Amino acid sequence: LTPEQLQELRFQRDVDDRNRPWVDEELDALFPPDGYEILEPPASYKPL
């Protein structure tokens, strides 16, 4: 591996790590327990 490839690999691993999906319980743990409601996605919502 060239240094550039190594850097790219390390960089990609960082992004993948920071993009690891959350399960609902993990999300619940991140937020204040009250004062907020989880919104239902509108029927018209189409994720990009």
What are the Cα distances from residue 21, in Å, to 1, 13, 27, 34, 47? 29, 14, 10, 23, 15
Minimum distance, C-beta of residue 5 to other proteins, in the bound complex (Å): 12
List residues near other proteins by CB under 8 A.
8, 11, 14-15, 18-19, 21-22, 27, 30-32, 34-42, 44-45, 47-48
Minimum distance from CB of 40 to other proteins (Å)? Answer: 6
Q: Tell me the C-alpha distance between 25 and 18, whole Å.
A: 17
Which one, 2 or 44, has the nearer CB to other proteins? 44
